[in-house]
């Protein structure tokens, strides 16, 4: 649609969009803010990951940090914005504590804080996992050679995971640049590319042609990021995992890590705590009497409950379909050697999908399926979510299946078992843990996504995250926080069940 005007091929739309300079300004703002946020986030995650893997901190404290940094993953990004407003805004409790504004939340300050909370779990997972594969003997040898503390740090930690650090920066940048939820609530008057796309597609006078052009602009950093990541993956080298080796005592280092980590956790929870607490006030911030009226009103609202039920249905069905498709795809690429061309195509597919921002994918489905019977149905939402989150589950399954000992299957084949019987008896039981993790990954992300579905849900197919966007227009923040808490509790319950199923599976294997 970007290249057509009245049914004829034309570049007129590009001239109209770029002539005013608004899109370029929005692109520049999004790029610079996202880049700064990704640097801050990666440095923060790096420090905490070092504290968990290379210090003498208490094991329980380390476990607490790993859990605390995951909490933001259980809420939609649009909720962060409203939580920041009610924490750091003019009527926020933090302002009341400090008697003056700490940051300007409507603009760059609020966006940086929102992006930081949003991307920190992703960066931490990457770096914390990467550090578990560092051969800790590097540090021991460096110490025996009497290297300075800084040189020891660079040799034993930074050098082995330098590519992981770069990938973390790129991933955090990509997530921030393409996010819609945080700009929707905290963008203020700052032009941002995600807001520009939404205004073109859902404004008072929608212009799908110009919206398509902005969608193409959003793809530029995405494509560049995947190219850079591919280059770094080729250069990356594997490390040998070594047993935990004695970490030299350094009280100043450990105290710094503790203070820094607690400060970061306090920032996260000072924002997210408002989501859970505010619904219990009668009329925050004007009437602070304890009350359950807001919760009762929300639970009695059939539209809100309907959106919540839609979210549960979409998350469950998309998780089942997505898990099955990702598993079958990984089976073909890791076990079927006679379809090399198909395997190569399937191996490239996650990289391609990973370059498509959620909003761009949603627009593609809107334009492609608007004239079909599945338009404005939950089916199109489910399919969009399955495709949007396919990349990580497929890679998880591929990694898991490629590491399984193929001698088991060879033995089974010699006993006359069919390929399908091999899958049922050997592959599925031995990849049980990954199956549970992939299902959980799909479910949680489906419950919190907003950008991928904002354009393809209607009145009957509204899911809970798009309902939050609608409630924003009516300033119904009590309802927003109640349903956000429902999302949080739902995801935590699913995660707890997932952990129990994983532990049970590991016990059965033993």
How far apart are the C-alpha atoms of 239 and 261, rounded to whole Å? 27
Six token digits for residue 249: 């005592």
10 Å CB burial of residue 219 (0-12, 13-18, 19+) is middle
Distances (CA, A) of 371 to 238, 365, 368, 383, 455: 49, 11, 8, 16, 15
pLDDT of residue 462: 92
Q: Is residue 23 within 8 Å of 217, Cβ to Cβ?
A: yes
pLDDT of residue 3: 53
Distances (CA, A) of 454 to 113, 184, 253, 346, 458: 23, 12, 46, 28, 9
Q: Is residue 448 within 8 Å of 465, Cβ to Cβ?
A: yes
pLDDT of residue 7: 59
355: Cβ contacts below 8 Å, ≥ 6 apart: 219, 222, 223, 225, 226
Strands (E), 93-166: none
Question: 3-state DSSP: the chain helix, strand, coil percent, rounded to 5?
Answer: 75, 0, 25
How far apart are the C-alpha atoms of 403 and 187, rounded to whole Å? 45
Please identify every stretch of the chain with a pLDDT value under 50, giving residue numbers as ranges.
Answer: 2, 238, 240-242, 338
10 Å CB burial of residue 267 (0-12, 13-18, 19+) is middle
pLDDT of residue 473: 81
Q: Report the predicted TM-score, pTM, of the whole model to 2 decimal places.
A: 0.83
CATH of 19-290, one of 1.10.3720.10, 3.40.50.1000, 1.10.10.60, 3.50.50.60: 1.10.3720.10
Six token digits for residue 475: 């300033």
Cis bond before residue 285 (omega within 30° of 0): yes
Residues of the chain with CATH 1.10.3720.10: 19-290, 292-510
pLDDT of residue 148: 65
Distances (CA, A) of 324 to 130, 299, 336, 442: 28, 34, 17, 11
pLDDT of residue 397: 84
Residue 75: alpha-carbon gap to chain centroid:
10
460: Cβ contacts below 8 Å, ≥ 6 apart: 376
> In angstroms, how far is the first alpha carbon of the chain from the final one?
57
DSSP letter (8 states) at residue 444: H
Closest to 116 in 3D by CA, of 264, 11, 10 = 264
Superfamily of domain covering 292-510: MetI-like (1.10.3720.10)
How many residues in total does the chain contain? 510
How far apart are the C-alpha atoms of 96 and 463, rounded to whole Å? 35
């Amino acid at each position: 649609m970007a290249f057509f005007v009245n049914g004829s091929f034309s570049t007129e739309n590009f001239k109209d969009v770029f002539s005013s300079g608004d899109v370029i300004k929005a692109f520049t703002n999004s790029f610079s803010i996202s880049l700064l946020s990704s640097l801050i986030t990666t440095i923060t995650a790096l420090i905490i990951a070092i504290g968990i893997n290379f210090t003498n901190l208490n094991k329980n404290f380390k476990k607490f940090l790993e859990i605390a940094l995951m909490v933001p993953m259980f809420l939609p990004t649009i909720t962060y914005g409203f939580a920041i407003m009610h924490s750091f805004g003019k009527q926020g409790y933090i302002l009341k504590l400090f008697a003056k504004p700490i940051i300007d939340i409507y603009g760059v300050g609020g966006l940086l804080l929102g992006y930081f909370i949003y991307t920190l779990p992703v960066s931490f997972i990457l770096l914390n996992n990467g550090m578990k594969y560092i051969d800790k003997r590097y540090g021991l040898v460096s110490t025996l050679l009497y290297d300075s503390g800084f040189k020891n740090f660079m040799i034993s930690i930074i050098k082995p995971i330098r590519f992981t650090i770069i990938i973390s920066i790129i991933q955090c940048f990509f997530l921030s640049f393409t996010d819609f939820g945080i700009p929707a609530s905290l963008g203020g008057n700052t032009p941002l590319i995600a807001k520009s796309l939404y205004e073109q597609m859902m404004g008072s006078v929608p212009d799908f042609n110009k919206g398509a052009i902005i969608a193409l602009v959003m793809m530029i950093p995405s494509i560049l990021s995947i190219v850079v990541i591919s280059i770094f993956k080729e250069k990356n080298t594997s490390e040998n995992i070594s047993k935990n080796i004695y970490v030299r005592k350094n009280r100043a280092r450990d105290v710094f890590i503790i203070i820094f980590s607690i400060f970061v956790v306090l920032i996260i929870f000072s924002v997210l705590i408002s989501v859970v607490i505010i619904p219990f006030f009668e009329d925050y911030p004007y009437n602070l009497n304890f009350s359950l009226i807001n919760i009762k009103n929300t639970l009695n609202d059939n539209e809100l409950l309907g959106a919540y039920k839609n979210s549960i249905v979409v998350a469950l069905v998309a998780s089942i379909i997505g898990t099955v498709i990702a598993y079958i795809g990984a089976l073909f690429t890791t076990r079927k050697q006679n379809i090399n061309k198909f395997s190569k195509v399937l191996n490239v597919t996650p990289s391609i999908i990973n370059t498509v921002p959620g909003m761009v994918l949603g627009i593609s489905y809107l334009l492609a399926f608007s004239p079909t019977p599945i338009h404005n149905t939950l089916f199109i939402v489910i399919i969009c979510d399955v495709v949007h989150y396919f990349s990580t589950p497929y890679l998880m399954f591929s990694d898991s299946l490629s590491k399984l000992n193929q001698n088991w299957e060879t033995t089974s084949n010699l006993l006359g078992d069919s390929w399908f019987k091999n899958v049922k008896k050997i592959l599925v039981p031995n990849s049980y843990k990954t199956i549970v993790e992939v299902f959980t990954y799909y479910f949680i992300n489906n419950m919190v996504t907003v950008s991928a579905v904002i354009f393809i849900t209607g009145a009957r197919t509204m899911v809970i995250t798009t309902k939050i966007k609608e409630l924003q227009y009516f300033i119904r923040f009590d309802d927003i926080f109640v349903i956000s808490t429902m999302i949080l509790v739902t995801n935590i319950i699913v995660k707890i069940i997932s952990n129990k199923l994983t532990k049970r599976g590991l016990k059965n294997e033993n």
